[in-house]
Structure 1
Amino acid sequence: MGALWPWAGTPAQTPSEATLESTAPALPRVDDVLKVPPIRLLNGQDFQHERQPLLLYWWSSTCPFCALQSPSMQALWLSQKSQGLRMLALSIDKKPEDAQAYLLKRGYTFPSAWASPEWRKQFPKPKGLPVTLLMNSQHKVLLAEKGQMFAEDVEAIARRF
């Protein structure tokens, strides 16, 4: 029977990205306080938001606007990580391997995790892509943007924390 019905007994299919996007919350407002749950980075390390400024960046390897913004995010990460900025890039790719391959191919080193549908139940991605949030050390939102940010707008983030 297994050969005839290969899906029999397998878990339910994860929600599609379109389904998740249709039910996604609005962009957080400036001054909202957000608690980012722990997540495992693609490099295997655990990430927890401590009492430091945090830049969150939702992206996908298939998003053309993310492809235009990611080089600026990499430059910001390289210039500001020694100044105390923490960054967490959250891939919404279908599989973590897709995100890993994309980062490797382009040489991006910013801390990245795969935001699985299960993890996103705890911390939903706001509508839109890319989504960029900057939070201060008290977890308060200082900046909330959806859609592609221009290089000069990304660079200006350095002056916000």
Structure 2
Amino acid sequence: MSALGSTPARAVEVGDTVMLPALTLLDGKTLPASVFRDRTVIVEYWASWCPFCAQQNPHVQKLYDATRGKPIQIVTLSIDKKPQDAIDYVKSHHYTFPAGMENDAWRAALGKRRGLPELYVIGRDGRVLRKEVGEMFGEDVAALADYAGK
């Protein structure tokens, strides 16, 4: 659910406030919604067939590795039609960042996507601090660590 209503007609933008739902990961584990409280959350949408995502995801993995133990939670959402495609992609690239499938609850929280990859930085108070539509360069992804604690 979002502060904008149960299903925003538009994508959330910088300055909007959101409440992130629980997420079932590709490995079957669940990230409860409580994991997102009091942490900066970086949400990335991707797909196994997206060439720009293929360029950005190694940088997301480096960011995930670099921010372990810090008040940042990274979560990625695949929009693949078949979960097995996403599972195979994550395994073949040896990604360890938390990955799940986009679902109705996440669409209700963040609204309609405008592109791929799409990345949100959500502050500890649930406010959207940054939104990026399209591929980010490695140094820009690395700089997202600066949002820890915001």
Percent identical: 35
Q: 1:149 aligns with which of 136, 143, 149?
A: 136
- Say what the alpha-carbon RMSD is for the aligned residues: 1.6
Query: Could you tell me whether the CA contact under 8 Å between 2:40 and 2:147 is conserved in 1?
Result: no
- Are residues 157 and 121 of structure 1, via their aligned partners in 2, closer, same or farther at CA, if it must alter by over 3 Å? closer
- Provide structure 1 residue ranges, at least 5 long, that are not aligned to the other structure: 1-23
Q: TM-score, normalised by structure 1?
A: 0.78
Which residue pairs with 1:122 in the alignment?
A: 108
Alignment map for 1:88-127 (pairs within 5 Å): 88-116=75-103, 118-123=104-109, 124-127=111-114
1:36 is the counterpart of 2:55? no
CA-to-aligned-CA distance 1:1-36 (integer Å, 9 cap, x gap): xxxxxxxxxxxxxxxxxxxxxxx834x322211111
Q: Indicate yes or no: 2:46 matched with 1:62.
A: no
Q: Secondary structure at the match of 1:158?
A: helix
Return structure 1 stretches of 4+ with deviation > 4 angstroms. Answer: none
Deviation at 1:119? 3.8
Task: Give secondary structure in 2 for the equivalent of 1:51.
Answer: coil
Q: How many residues align?
A: 136
TM-score (normalised: structure 2): 0.84
Once residues 107 and 69 of structure 2 are traced to their aligned partners in structure 1, the CA distance between those partners, rounded to angstroms, is: 32
- Which one has more relative contact order, counting CA pairs under 8 Å at least 6 apart? 2
